[in-house]
Amino acid sequence: MPAQATAESVEQVIFDGLSELGAEGEVKRESTFEQLDVDSLDLVEVAQIVEDEFGVELQGEDVKDLRTVGEVIDLVVARSQ
């Protein structure tokens, strides 16, 4: 059964995932993917982590316009409700 997707739990999973993928600098909610040097392939990996952890499926179309880590966190929490 997927974990409960609270803002705090989603934030931690995404922060950890981005760090493991080699994000540049400190990962914060306001960090942009450009600042972190995160590309579309990294976002696919993050989407897989989110799906495995919380059961929330994110498609490329869902994340293509998102620019910050916080926007992804908010999307995952909203989709898990």
Catalytic residue list: 39
Q: What is the DSSP letter of 68?
A: B
Alpha helices in 1-81 (DSSP H): 7-20, 40-54, 60-63, 69-80
The rounded distance, in Å, linking the Cα atoms of 8 and 68 is 16
